[in-house]
Amino acid sequence: MSRIAFEPLHDEFGARVLGVDLVLGLRPDIVQSIREALDTWSLLCFPDQAMNDDAHLALTRHLGEPEAEHVTLGSTGKVVYFGTVGNVADDGSKQDAVHPRTRYQTGNELWHSDSSFRAVPTLYSINHAYEVPGEGGGTCFASMRTAWDRLPEKTQDDIEPLRVIHDYVFSRTQVAPVNLAHAASLPPVVHRLVRRNPANGRKNYYVGSHARSVLGWTCGAKSRELIDDLMDRATRSEHVYTHPWKAGDTVIWDNRCLLHRGAGYDADRWRRRMRQTRVCGAGPTLEE
Ligand code: OGA
Ligand code: MN
């Protein structure tokens, strides 16, 4: 096999990885290179992968503990490791824009970090694209690490000690109802606002659509102002990389330091189908 090579996708983060077969070629040294590259690049795209669910789950396990998908877990108590992103049902039929599942996913068009509403949030998400729209349907990414680096030093010092409440019901009810069992399974959690990558020491702030308020701040408007300002700073267009999915792309990203959102697409017109797994974080962010 050819040597592993990285081509930058954006000047702040992200790389296309060539010379790796994620299905047949996952030797321990390759897995180690992928881990290290994720600490450096935050997002890796592996094009032209002949992926399937078994290989996808094997890749997930190589990178850590698979995370139980929260909608199924919260609503039914069952552990499944895959989520399906897009508008194609398990039986292959297309679910149009008005379908509850498709509408529910529009919540992913708000900037977020996966499972930031869990006590132990997602470390990596791994998406594989099987069917992509002919138009639209990209996923936008932005780095809270480079955004942290751009903050004035005084702001960095002021926000470093803060803790933030993340709340799934708060964020998701803005676009769609959340069933009772699911809502009850996801009480609000507290995270550090500022996180540090244990391998390279790079810091970032950690916000997103699920970030509801700053712990201990009684003025909701002040909380909102800070969180919204941090979101805006990270996601100005020049800092955003929009991934134009091609069928066969496997993308792995680091949710500790990246925000992402769906760019949207015409779900009545196009089919879009991605499979996703997530790797659990190392522990609660307060213990990092
Ligand atoms: C995700 C996600 C948004 C999209 O895959 O976790 O939020 O529609 N995707 O691309
Ligand atoms: Mn997501």
Chain centroid to CA 133: how far? Answer: 20
Percent of the chain at pLDDT > 90 equals 97
Q: Which two tokens stand for residue 51?
A: 């992926």
Residue 261 scores a pLDDT above 90? yes
48 confidence band (pLDDT: 50, 70, 90): very high
Q: How far is the CA of 3 from the centre of ligand 2 (A)?
A: 31
Q: Is the CB of 276 under 6 A from ligand 1?
A: yes
Ligand closest to 85 (CA) is 1
Q: How far is the CA of 158 from the centre of ligand 1 (A)?
A: 32
pTM, full prediction: 0.98
Contact 251, 44 (CB under 8 A): yes
Q: Which two tokens stand for residue 59?
A: 């890749």
- pLDDT (mean) for 23-42: 96
**Which residue minimizes the CA distance to atom 7 of ligand 1?**
108
Residue 112 is classified by DSSP as B
**Which residue minimizes the CA distance to atom 3 of ligand 1?**
262
Per-residue b or e along 226-247, where b marks 16 or more CB atoms closer than 10 Å to that residue's CB: bbeebbebbbeeebbbbbebee
CATH architecture of 5-280: 4-Layer Sandwich (3.60)
Q: List Cα–Cα distances, 188 to 55, 117, 118, 121, 250, in angstroms.
A: 34, 7, 8, 12, 31
Residue 2 scores a pLDDT above 80? no
Residue 176 scores a pLDDT above 90? no
* 121-156 residue pLDDT tens: 999 999 999 999 999 999 999 999 999 999 999 999
Nearest to 35, CA basis, from 48, 47, 20, 49: 20
Q: Is the CB of 267 under 6 A from ligand 1?
A: no
* 58-103 residue pLDDT tens: 999 999 999 999 999 999 999 999 999 999 999 999 999 999 999 9
Q: Where are the domains of the chain?
A: 5-280
**Which residue minimizes the CA distance to atom 10 of ligand 1?**
262
